[in-house]
Amino acid sequence: MKVSIIKEGKDFLKGKCGVHSKYLCYTVGRYDDETIQVAKELGLEGAVATECGLANIKTGEFELKRIRMSPMEIESFTEIFKSFMI
């Protein structure tokens, strides 16, 4: 079941947008060890969860945290990444 759902998503992006996706965003943030294994078997290189935070090498490429983006002013967007700017 998981194989077909993930594969259908990849095929849809390829067919409709011409995009060969190498990454996955877990639907509603739901994933488990089986989901990760399926993603790997389908040749994906990584996936993001809906857990807020910054990705790091310890979490692995299939459990990447992220910062959720929503409509905001450019100043607010810039503030999120201020500590990473040189």
- Band of residue 86 on the pLDDT scale cut at 50, 70, 90: low
What is the residue-wise DSSP string for 16-68? Answer: HH-----EEE-GGG---HHHHHHHHHTT--EEEEEEES---TTT-TTSEEE--
pLDDT, residue 29, reads 77
Tell me the mean pLDDT in the region 12-22: 86
pLDDT digits (tens, 9 = 90+) for 30-71: 899 999 999 999 999 999 988 887 777 788 899 988 877 778
* Domain spanning 2-84: CATH superfamily: Glycoside hydrolase/deacetylase (3.20.20.370)
pLDDT, residue 45, reads 94
Q: Could you tell me the residue ranges of all domains in the chain?
A: 2-84
